[in-house]
Structure 1
Amino acid sequence: MCKSHFAVLLFIITAICIILPHFHGGLANAAGTQDGSEQWGYVEVRPRAHMFWWHYKSPYRTQDPSKPWPIILWLQGGPGASGVGIGNFEEVGPLDNFLNPRNSTWLKKGDLLFVDNPVGTGYSFVEDKELLVKTDEEAGRDLTTLLIKLFNKNKTLQRSPLYIVAESYGGKYAVTLGLSALKAIKAGKLKLTLGGIALGNSWMSPMDFVASWGPLLKDVSRIDNSGLVKSNSLVETIRQQIANGSMKEATKSWGDLEGVIMDSSNSVDFYNFLSDSGSGGGSLTTSMISTISVTNKYLRHLDSLRVTAGGDGDLGTLMNGVIKKKLKIIPKDVTWGGQSDLVFEYLSGDFMSPKINEVDKLLRAGVNVTVYNGQLDLICATKGVEAWVEKLKWEGLNKFLSIDRTPMYCGADRKTRGFTKSYKNFHFYWILEAGHFVPVNQPCVTLDMVGNITRSPNK
């Protein structure tokens, strides 16, 4: 799709382009483009807790009843990172953060639904900080409420299977949402078809990840024996804290471990272990979370994704400037990312909890579950992913582990881009030469993967 079409469709900010917003309780809660290609709004998921969503209708959408067109719900991580900002403009949406068309947009495979989740993230906000969620399950319930409000009165949306695709901490939201949504569907409270769940570089088992950091970095010569001994000592402290139920203390020790890793490795990039933190190795325009302060520990991840872009290309400037003006319904006193530090703080007691059992429940319920991971990621290293997958109690696990992988290519290029294997409703993709942000590092093979996950008619 050409640049001029997107510019007209998305970013000419005039009264002609915008449907007048509807109001409820004095707060604008829904708006969109005149041609219906985009809609956005707020859902009050609980009293005084407001969640923002943005839906793009794909220009490639087909109306073949035998091949239903999918909707992809993108869930960002953090906690406190904005899907409406980061996933949309930095990774898979129609435009990048310079407002140029993205050739690898996932709109080629499905509609896109971005949500600022949990409340307090991005444009979402709470009127009282005590309304922020404290557990992943609470976040899943809020997302279920949002889906009920969006899908139950929209038969067009109901005809499309929903695929939940998550990145990083978003994986924990994805599985809790999946179980909550299944329960609501069974009870007749939610009208949609759950097509599947994809966990991209997802923080599903924190203990397995922190235990993988030292050995992985030692194997690639990024730390020495001294660094390995120091990191392993803290890993055992974290293991004991989790066993004792001291989850906030485990989160603190996680931050201490990061400090040891940084010191021992001369500041390795947690998003790409072949790079240094701050070198841009994460391969995003690192202004992407410039307005999020979360905590000093979390910022060590984000620092590696920051550049001194300024002006065009700076995501915070974009979201609090031209995008806020376009959307029209964002309250004047709401700043994109203004409450994100509190989101992380309030979830700190659940940050180190695993969600392996939830994956097992989804598999037993027959839900298609996909795991994909970038080869060069450290924070959610493939070594850690494989460790938690092997802990699944799913009856098909042994068969899955025994079968061979299939290489992945991109078009006519025969360079190996990754590997994949599947058994029944469980699927795994190993994406080569990619770090934490797989859609950015390997857009071509990732787009093919998304088409497979969603069974998109547009192959």
Structure 2
Amino acid sequence: MENFHIPGFLLVIFLFLVPLFHGAPAAKAEKTEDGSEVWGYVQVRPKAYMFWWYYRSPYIVQDSNKPRPVILWLQGGPGASGVGIGNFEEIGPLDNNLKPRNSTWLKHADLLFVDNPVGTGYSYVEDTKLFVKTDDEAATDLTTLLIEVFNRNESLQKSSLYIVAESYGGKHAVTLGLSALKAIEAGKLKLQLGGIALGDTWISPEDFVFSWGPLLKDVSRIGSNGLKESKRLAEKIKQQIDAGKFVEATDSWNELENVIDASTNSVDFFNFLLDSSSERLSLTASELSRQIERKRYSKYVNSLRSNADGDGDLDSLMNGAIKKKLKIPDNVQWRGQSDPVFSAQEGDFMRPRINEVDELLEKGVNITIYNGQLDLICSTMGTEAWVEKLKWDGLQTFLSMNRSPIFCNGEKTTKGFTRSYKNLHFYWILGAGHFVPVDQPCVALNMVGSITQSTVTSK
């Protein structure tokens, strides 16, 4: 256990050895000797167990006038592991070689990673029928986890929780936000919701599929024939979504991705300046469409690993040293992306969640949207399109405002732009694809500091 802990990493005493549930694989949460890390399982439903891992920041200066910020990171997929990918590949204290990460988001907040939904990463079910089928079901499980973790610790109850999501995790974030607010108002959940940040998130599938062809045509990556076919399929997807035929829309989405792939000589959906590797596209013609899509979605993991610092093998790490440290049950095998979890949500995958964003804005929740310039799957063009559909009464003022440039580390090179009005904030991040914290770590870290408004030390 001590091999994975930075010496002197924390100066704080954080007592959290309390029973979280009965009948789960562990009767109490585990922690490091200095209390800087705490983790455990929550039985969110009978025979369904969700894993969480909490890091307390050594950089935060305790300020009695403001709550301590805690970031809950939600990975995409559905079925991608936040405990593994978000933690070791993007924003956690260590990279996948167990070396300190200079751009860790711990510099501005405590971090809470969760393998969500159940069946993802270290989270597991005893019966596959318990996989969630909708974003709302996932939100209910996550709310149960928050109740178990926060309600049993007064220190966390005084903190401010920021839900930060990437990719499909954005749909889980907004449904969780509403579910958590409802539980708070009912007195069932003891926490303060500081805000929600949506990073390259799959909020409106319709707007994204309509953006792919025109965006790729503008950057000379697709020809006229490919553009025409992509528009035809996007229209078909829209009709299916409007009719509530979400499974059919998922199938058509897969068909559109195949058209894009064939028409662009395999553009990388996570950075349109790149090609997908031959390994990620080694598919046979006999595979069924949903099997093809699950294999294609493994790019979510593989694309990130090709860009992350270090060359460590995350699968070996998570199923070896980290699994041993965390005392994960022997029968639980960690995977970066769970195919069964993805498949279980195919009926909700193409459902938009714009209304949920609207409802959160109307409730006064701080919403931050950030997007990488080079992302295709959740393109900035598509994100801007769904933002313009919001019914929030501050939208027109927000859209009319000029953007402000973003710089980093005293450099004069423009790294992005930002715009804010009331509780809506938008960051356009240049030079980044789908994985903003990996591609532009300095900009991402500064953005997190602005979101959390934390008081930190200079170390």
TM-score (norm 1): 0.91
Equivalent residues in 2 for 1:355-374, closer than 5 Å: 355-374=353-372
User: How far apart, in 2, do the equivalents of 1:117 and 1:421 lie?
Assistant: 31
Look up the equivalent residue of 2:313 and give its one-letter code. D
Equivalent residues in 2 for 1:55-204, closer than 5 Å: 55-204=54-203
1:284-304 CA-partner distances (Å, limit 9, x unpaired): xxxxxxxx9982342355454
1:358-417 CA-partner distances (Å, limit 9, x unpaired): 000000000000000000000000000000000000000000000000000002111100
Kept after mapping to 1: 8 A contact 2:20/2:148: no
User: How far apart, in 2, do the equivalents of 1:297 and 1:204 lie?
Assistant: 20
Query: Is 1:273 aligned to 2:278, yes or no?
Result: no
Match of 1:406 in 2: 404
Match of 1:247 in 2: 246
User: How far apart, in 1, do the equivalents of 2:5 and 2:35 lie?
Assistant: 14
User: How far apart, in 2, do the equivalents of 1:144 and 1:196 lie?
Assistant: 15
User: How far apart, in 2, do the equivalents of 1:31 and 1:417 lie?
Assistant: 40
Kept after mapping to 2: 8 A contact 1:293/1:299: no
Kept after mapping to 1: 8 A contact 2:77/2:337: no
Kept after mapping to 2: 8 A contact 1:119/1:126: yes
User: How far apart, in 1, do the equivalents of 2:82 and 2:337 lie?
Assistant: 14
Match of 1:288 in 2: none
Query: Is 1:393 aligned to 2:377, yes or no?
Result: no
How far off is 1:312 after superposition?
A: 6.3
The 1:162/1:23 distance shift into structure 2, 3 A limit, reads closer
How far off is 1:4 after superposition?
A: 9.1
The 1:429/1:327 distance shift into structure 2, 3 A limit, reads same
Match of 1:423 in 2: 421
Kept after mapping to 2: 8 A contact 1:164/1:198: yes
Name whichever of 351-360 and 28-37 sits farther off.
Answer: 28-37
For structure 2, list consecutive stretches of 5 or more residues without a partner in the other structure: 10-15, 281-290
Kept after mapping to 2: 8 A contact 1:120/1:339: no
1:263-285 CA-partner distances (Å, limit 9, x unpaired): 1000000000001112899xxxx
Kept after mapping to 1: 8 A contact 2:20/2:149: no
User: How far apart, in 2, do the equivalents of 1:34 and 1:443 lie?
Assistant: 30
How many residues were matched structurally? 438
RMSD of aligned Cα (Å): 2.5
1:132-189 CA-partner distances (Å, limit 9, x unpaired): 1000001011100000000112110011100000000000000000000000000000
User: How far apart, in 2, do the equivalents of 1:339 and 1:307 lie?
Assistant: 16
Look up the equivalent residue of 1:187 and give its one-letter code. A
Match of 2:235 in 1: 236
Kept after mapping to 2: 8 A contact 1:451/1:458: no
1:27-49 CA-partner distances (Å, limit 9, x unpaired): 21521101110000000001110
Return the match for 2:376 from 375, 378, 385.
Answer: 378
The 1:325/1:312 distance shift into structure 2, 3 A limit, reads farther
1:299-326 CA-partner distances (Å, limit 9, x unpaired): 35545446699x9601111100000011
1:339-361 CA-partner distances (Å, limit 9, x unpaired): 81110000000000000000000
Query: Is 1:318 aligned to 2:317, yes or no?
Result: yes
Match of 1:205 in 2: 204
Look up the equivalent residue of 2:436 and give its one-letter code. V
The 1:45/1:203 distance shift into structure 2, 3 A limit, reads same
User: How far apart, in 1, do the equivalents of 2:83 and 2:293 lie?
Assistant: 17
How far off is 1:334 after superposition?
A: 0.5
User: How far apart, in 1, do the equivalents of 2:301 and 2:106 lie?
Assistant: 27
User: How far apart, in 2, do the equivalents of 1:139 and 1:365 lie?
Assistant: 21
Report SS of the residue matched to 2:43: strand
Kept after mapping to 1: 8 A contact 2:21/2:42: no
User: How far apart, in 1, do the equivalents of 2:162 and 2:447 lie?
Assistant: 13
Report SS of the residue matched to 2:413: strand
User: How far apart, in 1, do the equivalents of 2:31 and 2:19 lie?
Assistant: 8
User: How far apart, in 1, do the equivalents of 2:105 and 2:141 lie?
Assistant: 25
Report SS of the residue matched to 2:272: strand
How far off is 1:236 after superposition?
A: 1.2
User: How far apart, in 1, do the equivalents of 2:73 and 2:385 lie?
Assistant: 25
For structure 1, list consecutive stretches of 5 or more residues without a partner in the other structure: 11-17, 282-291
Report SS of the residue matched to 1:96: coil
The 1:455/1:231 distance shift into structure 2, 3 A limit, reads same
User: How far apart, in 2, do the equivalents of 1:126 and 1:293 lie?
Assistant: 25
User: How far apart, in 2, do the equivalents of 1:171 and 1:211 lie?
Assistant: 19
TM-score (norm 2): 0.91
Kept after mapping to 2: 8 A contact 1:357/1:392: yes
Match of 1:31 in 2: 30
Look up the equivalent residue of 1:428 and give its one-letter code. F
User: How far apart, in 2, do the equivalents of 1:191 and 1:144 lie?
Assistant: 11
Match of 1:48 in 2: 47
